[in-house]
């Protein structure tokens, strides 16, 4: 139960950070949103599989950030 509360609090903090960053460039916004989506996905997957939520969140955030940056690069080349 404690892990679920931590995940909810972490996601709430990430959402507050995203909404407060409207002055950011498109690249920064995509990296941040990718990281937030990845963190949420990583946390959810580790809850379902019984792994360490913090590790899953950190890995998901890293993968999501890289994914957001790759997506931004692809959009700039169009």
pLDDT in tens, the chain (78 residues): 667 888 888 877 777 776 766 678 889 989 989 999 999 999 999 999 998 999 999 999 999 999 999 999 999 998
Judged by DSSP in three states, 50 sits in: coil
Return the residue matching tokens 């949103």. Answer: 33
pLDDT at 1: 61
pLDDT at 69: 96
């Amino acid at each position: 139960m404690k892990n679920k509360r931590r995940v909810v609090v972490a996601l709430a903090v990430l959402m507050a950070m995203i909404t407060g960053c409207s002055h950011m460039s498109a690249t920064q916004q995509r990296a941040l949103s990718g990281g937030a989506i990845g963190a949420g996905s990583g946390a959810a997957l580790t809850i379902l599989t019984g792994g360490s939520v913090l590790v899953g969140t950190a890995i998901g955030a890293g993968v999501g950030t890289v994914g957001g940056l790759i997506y931004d690069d692809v959009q700039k080349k169009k």
